[in-house]
Homo-oligomer: A and B are copies of this chain.
């Protein structure tokens, strides 16, 4: 039985009760959203984590952090530091995107140390096994893929990204496209290269029913990956992207029929004026399944600052109805992220999510801001720092230079507007 099954039976689970409380809504309301597929709960049947969360329509916008080793940079200690810092800075979920040799060890440690839901891209493990056993991921067999899924499910992973929208047909649409950058999805490219080498259909698509059975068994949320997401604003909302989105929409229907929780992944690089349309298309084709966006980045030229391009796009996407933001770090497009990059990326995404929550009227989202503004007007610096999204950074900036008048700051000093106007209005 999954959360969907219970919800359809109108049984309120402890998980629903816990998440509803976090969301400031009734358990019944949340249960209804889960029954009709508008929300999911990340909480595999193993019950590994206490701090689970729900994602979906009308709920607070959640933020995911990606960590994990790459083939070039594999340092378990560093990735665990990133995990701890992400939890401290209130990430809602974390994905271990490790590739390469240290996958198993990394995932084990991350699961052991994570108090929040964990997601993975199981094809990375399958690819790594094939590399080891057969010398190339292109020789990976379907059994290996399924074994990786089951292994990770048994370890306690809460959600899987599976690139099931890449099919022979959608790749043929891609081939005919004149994209500036044909593909930017690592998982999507692995699958595509494998399909070409083996001349086979995508096993995630072909054996989708088997994946559903496994997801049902462990109540894993399936995150339907967008292997064809645009990686350049010129490629946004093109035929290849929409073709894949429609495939994902069909798979959403199949997942729901089997009581499997499912969300859909989205772009990518999208100009500001196409963001609303992208959200509406996902909600339409995927029947209001929760939308998990990577960005969107609103221009292509800001390497080194893509946490900002993603915060702009993410805020707007969430405002228009995206439910779940994947963080982007300043290192995006340039290097494997450092601890500092993770910090910067997470805070930027949290700003985007919170700003959208205020704007879309999530209940009491603005209370935090009102407390902050009250403290600011009183020049209550201690309170102001403790309320800020990153008290450590605020404190550092505030205390880097001592104001002459401790009730003001070094910017306006004696001309502090809040101080001056106080006298005028009294």
Contact = CB atoms under 8 A, between A and B. Distances in A.
Interface of A: 70-73, 99-100, 127, 171, 174-175, 180-186, 188-190, 192-193, 195-196, 231-235, 269, 271-274, 298-305, 307-309, 311-312, 315-316, 319, 330-338, 347-348, 351-352, 354-356, 358-361, 366, 368-370, 372-374, 376-377, 384-385, 387-390, 393-394, 396-398, 400-401, 403-404, 409-418, 420-425
6 contacts: A186-B416, A189-B417, A300-B376, A304-B393, A333-B376, A336-B411
B232 A373 contact: yes
A333 B182 contact: no
Q: Is the interface of A mostly helix, strand, loop or mixed?
A: helix
Nearest to A396: B304
B72 A404 contact: yes
A70 B403 CA distance: 11
Given A99-B412, A231-B373, A272-B356, 17 more contacts: A71-B414, A181-B376, A182-B425, A185-B417, A193-B424, A233-B369, A269-B373, A298-B315, A299-B358, A302-B347, A303-B388, A304-B389, A304-B393, A304-B397, A305-B390, A334-B397, A335-B401
B273 A360 contact: yes
Contacts of A184: 417-418
B188 A300 contact: no
Given A348-B305, A370-B234, A335 B273 contact: no
